[in-house]
Amino acid sequence: MVWHRHEIARGLDALRDAVVEVLLSEPAAAAAGTTGAGLALGEAAPRGRTRTAPEVPAQSPGPEHDDADLAVSSEDDEADRERLIALVELARGGDKEAFGLLFDHYHPSVYRFLFYRTRSQTLAEDLASETFFRALRSMNNFRWQGKDFGAWLMTIARNLTTDHFKAGRTRLEQTTEDMGLHDDATEGPENTVLSALTNEVLLTSLQELPKEQQECLIMRFLQGMSIAETAQVLGRSDGAVKQLQLRGVRNLAKLLPEGLRE
């Protein structure tokens, strides 16, 4: 699964840049009596490609729905929005092929969220599979509420991780996958911090954030979700997500080893 590594590296680079900007800008901002935001409120990296869907069990046709006027999609392209909405309509009517296409589209973002939350490839894959099977079982009952279908899937994934850790079946696991080091530094204070801020340091500190800040940073920087998409999943306003993101980046910078904050 090479694409997992590629997307993980790109997402970590986006978060690393935001943290480094806070580390480098806040001393100057404090001296000027202001607070730097910069990349902490910026857009994150785009999503990656998809995987092949597992075999989907048969599903009986569902009832007719009258909520089509509330159907939305967060895709930028109008044709993509219409396609995904149409696939959801077919899938909640029992169309297996349509659900498989939805799996192809949304699986990468669901998997990445779960991987960053658990730091375990195996666990993330298991929880991603369970997310889609739960979604499949509930498709007949899915209702448009002015939210993207992906936000509904992400809510299922969030609940699964919460239940998993509450049940105490595992602790947050250190990934055995080679996360790689950011070792392309050249001269200058920014690249000096970047060279020291490895993926392992970044992810370890990320796990210490409060849950909602952690999830916000994962969605925004590591998954490339928009502010609006993140707000839908977290049940917050766009403005609240911006503030949550800014606090999360600042707190993440404070959690880094002492040598990186000097």
pLDDT digits (tens, 9 = 90+) for 193-209: 444 567 777 888 888 99
Would you say 112 and 8 are in contact if contact means Cβ atoms under 8 Å apart? Answer: yes
Q: Is the pLDDT of residue 95 over 80?
A: yes
Would you say 144 and 70 are in contact if contact means Cβ atoms under 8 Å apart? Answer: yes
Would you say 198 and 181 are in contact if contact means Cβ atoms under 8 Å apart? Answer: yes
- The pLDDT value recorded for residue 157 is 93
Per cent of the chain over pLDDT 90 is: 24
Q: How far is CA 4 from CA 30, 112, 184, 213, 242, in A?
A: 39, 8, 21, 23, 27
b or e along 127-160 (b: 16 or more beta carbons within 10 Å of the residue's beta carbon)? bbeebbeebbeebbebebeebbbbbbbbbbbbeb
Q: Is the pLDDT of residue 174 over 80?
A: no
Q: Which residues contact 167 (CB under 8 A, 6 or more apart)?
A: none
Q: Is the pLDDT of residue 188 over 70?
A: no
Q: Is the pLDDT of residue 235 over 80?
A: yes
> Domain 68-166: which CATH class?
mainly alpha
- Say how far apart CA 109 and CA 208 lie, in whole Å: 22
Nearest by Cα to 154 from 214, 219, 95, 110? 110
pLDDT class of 31 with cuts at 50, 70, 90: very low
- The pLDDT value recorded for residue 50 is 39
For residues 97-109, give the mean pLDDT: 92
Residue 150 backbone dihedrals phi, psi, to 5 degrees: -65, -30
Note the helical H segments in the chain.
2-32, 78-91, 96-118, 121-138, 149-166, 189-196, 199-206, 211-217, 227-234, 238-255
Q: Which residues contact 3 (CB under 8 A, 6 or more apart)?
A: 48, 49, 108
- The pLDDT value recorded for residue 185 is 37
Domains in the chain: boundaries: 2-46+181-261, 68-166
